[in-house]
């Protein structure tokens, strides 16, 4: 599953927009989203798993049209609430639709590649919880099996802080879970994060 926000100026990449302006930040968000979906479409097709685009910032019809333009047929709206609530909602819907495991990523990964997603899919065949650490203290991927108690993992997390991974791992430990950790990756939120991407 890819969680994506419609790249409208002033409504996406706000932290980056402070440095480079809302229009430039939205253009980068659009580029990142296209890249993420191209990688996800290829990786899921190769692995034989389904792909869902969870959209924020568009009405249902527009979200479906945007999804089709990105090569995705299964499109849902994220709905209201903080990231934890939106993640939990998407996981619930996926499991109700018959998923056995779900890997969720955002669109802030300029260096995302197919092998990274393949590694996550493989880990989820064996583990109830898979996390991809991000260099800023968050995570670039969360994967959960259908019997993993995901609600406690996503409650009370200070999203956007440098303690997201730490506190999620602590919540996992309290639920008697040991997350499988993927290779760390750098996401793109601030001006400094652009240098490796453009360099």
CA distance 194 to 28: 10
**Are 55 and 78 in contact, with CB atoms under 8 Å apart?**
yes
The predicted-structure confidence for 8-60, as pLDDT tens digits, reads as follows 876 776 677 677 788 888 888 898 999 999 999 999 999 999 999 999 999 99
Structure tokens at 102: 């779900």
Provide the residue ranges of all domains of the chain, joining segments of one domain with +.
2-193
**Are 13 and 25 in contact, with CB atoms under 8 Å apart?**
yes
The predicted-structure confidence for 65-97, as pLDDT tens digits, reads as follows 999 999 999 999 999 999 999 999 999 999 999
Pairing between strand 129-133 and 139-145? antiparallel
Domain 2-193 classification at class level? alpha beta
- The model's pTM is 0.91
């Amino acid at each position: 599953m890819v969680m994506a926000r419609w790249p409208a100026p002033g409504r996406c990449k706000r932290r980056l927009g402070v440095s480079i302006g809302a229009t430039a930040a939205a253009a980068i968000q659009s580029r990142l989203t296209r890249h993420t979906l191209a990688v996800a479409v290829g990786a899921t097709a190769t692995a034989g798993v389904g792909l869902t685009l969870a959209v924020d910032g568009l009405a249902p019809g527009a979200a479906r049209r945007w999804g089709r333009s990105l090569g995705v047929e299964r499109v849902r709206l994220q709905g209201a609430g903080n990231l934890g609530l939106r993640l939990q909602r998407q996981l619930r819907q996926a499991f109700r639709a018959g998923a056995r495991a779900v890997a969720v990523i955002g669109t802030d990964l300029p260096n995302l590649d197919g092998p990274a997603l393949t590694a996550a899919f493989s880990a989820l065949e064996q583990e109830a919880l898979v996390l991809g650490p991000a260099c800023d203290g968050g995570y670039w991927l969360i994967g959960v099996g259908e019997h993993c108690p995901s609600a406690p993992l996503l409650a009370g997390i200070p999203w956007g802080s440098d303690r997201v991974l730490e506190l999620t791992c602590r919540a996992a430990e309290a639920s008697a879970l040991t997350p499988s950790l993927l290779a760390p990756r750098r996401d793109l939120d601030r001006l400094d994060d652009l240098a490796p991407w453009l360099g």
